[in-house]
Structure 1
Amino acid sequence: MTSRVPGFYKLSPEQRLEMIAGHLGLTENEKKLISGKHRFTAEDADRMVENVIGCLPVPLGVAVNFRVDGEDLFIPMATEEPSVIAAASHAAKFTYDTNGFSTSYSGSIMRGQIQVTNLKNPYAAMAKVYENKEDILELCNKMDQTLVSFGGGAKDLDVQVIQGSSEKMVVIHLLIDTKDAMGANAVNTMAEAATPMVEKITGGNVVLRILSNLADKRLVRARATFHNPFQGDETKMATFLSACELAVADPYRAATHNKGIMNGISAVVLATGNDTRAIEAGAHAYASVSGRYQALTQWEREGDSLSGTIEIPLAVGLIGGATQSHPVAKLSAKILRAKTAEQLAGIIASVGLAQNFAALKALAGDGIQKGHMKLHARNMASMAGAKTNQIDDVVRIASEQGKYGFDDIKEIIQSLNEEE
């Protein structure tokens, strides 16, 4: 199977689905689920969240040209924003002949925090927690024997004394290997179960006992070489690298730089039924761990090519929650052919790196808006009242004129209506 599909964007949705289905062996029922012919109903939604009144469908597209750790992949991405999927596909094309993306994974350790207050001697309390570490871990592991049987479970403690505004408190970090699950439920259950023992050991009062979304022991790194993206244009190369420097040095630029990365990452996270809010929170917190908010990527020049790297916490899984209860999320994982959380995380990080490259390349050239507005024109045509059979003509004429303003689109529609 090759993910290099020239002209994929020119195919109809039905043709794209048939191509993907043929490569991956999707059943007729699976194709109907993805295409929306078997609707995700309010009754389905009511089993997932509260107070349901309906559903909000989000477009599901596929990025092409990706090769991750030697394997060609089609990447399902759920997003409402035009240009995101096209940008990722465009970027990945520059890496395909340089072996694509290579990834590494620090492991699947999550932190569960237990906050202990009202301590007379907080440093002595910290020492007592360490003295009773094995008992605490044993108690935690009794809460999830299934996870332990797969090699996961509570593995260690990290205990800190933190100065608050009114007192010094002890904060215990349970270090829990959640394996192929995101792990929030397992971590929270263990943290709550350990609370009575912790209070007895320390003589204090436990306040919070919950996981941290700063998953700094669940780091993913992705690397790729983007081959000769500027065809020897030194001005564009210098502009690209200068923009990267600013994102490292200036938090105002870094916020937008990282938002672009998350355009890609969140789209794959959502498509696979993982927790977009947890991933976003962890990523932005990690961007600040140095004490100053900065870029999640680094870029270096290699002759006429660019070497990019990303390091980011990604607490994603293939077990539990919407990853299993949402039928299309399950199908997205099948399309990705991800068998483990490690594989899934590596793919997601690669998409984030590709998305960042695409944004920086656009900034180094004609700017973001030219390409974005061209792809946004279909939305604008619909907003401006174009009939279904007019939309392609509106986009074509707008592209020929190079005008994508709302008033420009309305004028084109009016002209088409007068011709009918």
Structure 2
Amino acid sequence: MRGFGKYYRKTWEERLAILRDTFYLDDNDIAEIEHVSGNGEIGDTMVENFITQFEIPEGLGLNYVVNGKEYLVPMVTEEPSVIAAASNGARLVKAGGGFNAEVKSRLMLGQIVIENITDVDELVRKIKADQEHLLKVANDAHPSIVRRGGGARWLRTRILANDLLSVDLAVDVQEAMGANMLNTMLEAVANEIQCTYHQDVLMSIMSNYATESLVTTKARIPVSELAKENISGEEVALKIQQASRLAQLDPYRATTNNKGIMNGVDAVTIASGNDWRAIEAGSHAYAARDGQYKGLSQWYFEDGILIGELTLPLPVGSVGGSIKIVPLVKINHKLFKAKDAKELSMIIASVGLGQNLAALYALVTDGIQRGHMRLQLKSLAVSVGAKQDEISKLVNLLEKNKKRDSASARELLEKLRREEL
């Protein structure tokens, strides 16, 4: 495509000019791109071929009490009702004392994959015998993390095929997300393996399946808090228990159940400046760890209490990456008031469980649409051109007339404006 050669070397103004000329963008299009572009220097630092910032709304999840401490939780999402649902789920859990969360360990995993092996059992024996030396090689590649109390902790071997071996390295990355650090250490160990054992290394790369960074959060809700209109709290609790069981049995339901959990997890992860795609991939892999994809959460009813539990791999950081360069992410960390990455991960997991509770509660009582609908109608009103002071009025008209399509919304908006003139 003409004009896009070495696009990244061009100035921001030149990039926009090429877009204007090649795709016939008008003045309004260019003005909108310029309006939301923000700090171009930050954008150029983070991505190649930068043109603008893509805005997604940020709000606050409320009512979150984790291990006795109350939090405001920044959440970034474009989906209506996510933050409202997360806050409502947390309100129910708060009535039972809040979430109890723990981090059993926080190690990042990487793998060195060796190929073309003639005697895999003999190679495994050699690597196990030399593991202390290989750990030292890893630590020598990144001494600063060792000085801060982190570093390589252990390695293991996994035979993937007769000619393929994975050497897994576990590293304490302290407060960082740790990808670059871990990859540096892996490459050092890979080079040592090549030179010492004369083996071919296929690749050295961190893994996003963070099974050594598991976070568990639990909730206990008295059934008295679950009663709704003509449904008793005990009946609601039993239905949530059955819905949870369904997600363990049926991967079709499990996928949607887990998507709801990730609605909350992703929103907080994005707000914290962490890699939400890595968290998504690791969480879904963890959901299939037993050979069948299952719901990540489990709920059961016992002695008048609805009990929920969620375990997720959450290798998030509190320093590094976009955390140190994006101003809004820095502000969000002030709002989180988490003293370290472990505390942040416990907040994220608790939002996932709160989001799940809200979704299941809606599904087994009113149905999911009732809670979503008004927010969806607000989005519809905005999409047809309603101004700020017209949105609520138009939503009320849409609800009164039981209309949910764009044509009806435009018609009702025109009617609203005519009657106010």
Whether TM exceeds 0.5 here: the answer is: yes
Aligned to 2:16: none
CA drift of 1:39 comes to 7.7
In structure 2, how many angstroms separate the alpha carbons of the residues matched to 1:262 and 1:171? 30
CA drift of 1:57 comes to 1.4
CA drift of 1:393 comes to 1.0
Aligned to 1:373: 373
SS at match of 1:98: coil
Superposition pairs of residues 78-227 of structure 1, within 5 angstroms: 78-163=76-161, 167-227=162-222
Superposition pairs of residues 288-367 of structure 1, within 5 angstroms: 288-367=288-367
SS at match of 2:46: coil
Are the aligned partners of 1:143 and 1:189 in contact in 2 as well (CA < 8 Å)? yes
Which digits, 9 at most, give the CA deviation of each residue in 1:150-180, with x for residues without a partner?
Answer: 21111111111111xxx53111001111111
Superposition pairs of residues 217-256 of structure 1, within 5 angstroms: 217-228=212-223, 229-231=225-227, 232-256=232-256
In structure 1, how many angstroms separate the alpha carbons of the residues matched to 2:89 and 2:221? 8
- Where structure 2 has 5 or more consecutive residues not aligned to the other structure, the ranges are 1-34
CA drift of 1:43 comes to 2.4
Going from structure 1 to structure 2, the CA distance change for 1:200 and 1:340 (only over 3 Å counts) comes to same
SS at match of 1:221: strand
Aligned to 1:73: 71
Are the aligned partners of 2:36 and 2:53 in contact in 1 as well (CA < 8 Å)? no
Matched-pair identity in %: 39
Are the aligned partners of 1:237 and 1:364 in contact in 2 as well (CA < 8 Å)? no
CA drift of 1:418 comes to 2.5
Superposition pairs of residues 14-53 of structure 1, within 5 angstroms: 40-53=38-51
Are the aligned partners of 1:129 and 1:202 in contact in 2 as well (CA < 8 Å)? no
Are the aligned partners of 1:318 and 1:324 in contact in 2 as well (CA < 8 Å)? no
Are the aligned partners of 1:119 and 1:202 in contact in 2 as well (CA < 8 Å)? no
Going from structure 1 to structure 2, the CA distance change for 1:365 and 1:404 (only over 3 Å counts) comes to farther
Amino acid at match of 1:148: V
In structure 2, how many angstroms separate the alpha carbons of the residues matched to 1:408 and 1:270? 35
Which digits, 9 at most, give the CA deviation of each residue in 1:295-344, with x for residues without a partner?
Answer: 11110113444111000100100111011111111111110101111000
In structure 2, how many angstroms separate the alpha carbons of the residues matched to 1:219 and 1:181? 16
SS at match of 1:47: helix
Q: CA RMSD in A?
A: 1.8
Are the aligned partners of 1:373 and 1:404 in contact in 2 as well (CA < 8 Å)? no
- Where structure 1 has 5 or more consecutive residues not aligned to the other structure, the ranges are 1-36
SS at match of 1:44: helix
Are the aligned partners of 1:84 and 1:355 in contact in 2 as well (CA < 8 Å)? yes
Amino acid at match of 2:93: T
> TM-score with structure 1 length normalisation?
0.87
SS at match of 2:141: coil
CA drift of 1:406 comes to 3.5
Are the aligned partners of 1:111 and 1:175 in contact in 2 as well (CA < 8 Å)? yes
Are the aligned partners of 1:264 and 1:351 in contact in 2 as well (CA < 8 Å)? yes
In structure 2, how many angstroms separate the alpha carbons of the residues matched to 1:297 and 1:389? 41
In structure 2, how many angstroms separate the alpha carbons of the residues matched to 1:324 and 1:44? 11
Number of residue equivalences:
381
Aligned to 1:384: 384
> Based on CA coordinates, which of the two structures has the bigger radius of gyration?
2
Q: In terms of mean alpha carbon deviation, does 137-146 or 344-353 score higher?
A: 137-146
SS at match of 1:99: coil
In structure 2, how many angstroms separate the alpha carbons of the residues matched to 1:227 and 1:61? 28
Are the aligned partners of 2:95 and 2:221 in contact in 1 as well (CA < 8 Å)? no
Amino acid at match of 2:206: L
In structure 2, how many angstroms separate the alpha carbons of the residues matched to 1:235 and 1:411? 43
SS at match of 2:71: strand
In structure 2, how many angstroms separate the alpha carbons of the residues matched to 1:63 and 1:291? 34
Going from structure 1 to structure 2, the CA distance change for 1:353 and 1:375 (only over 3 Å counts) comes to same
> TM-score with structure 2 length normalisation?
0.87
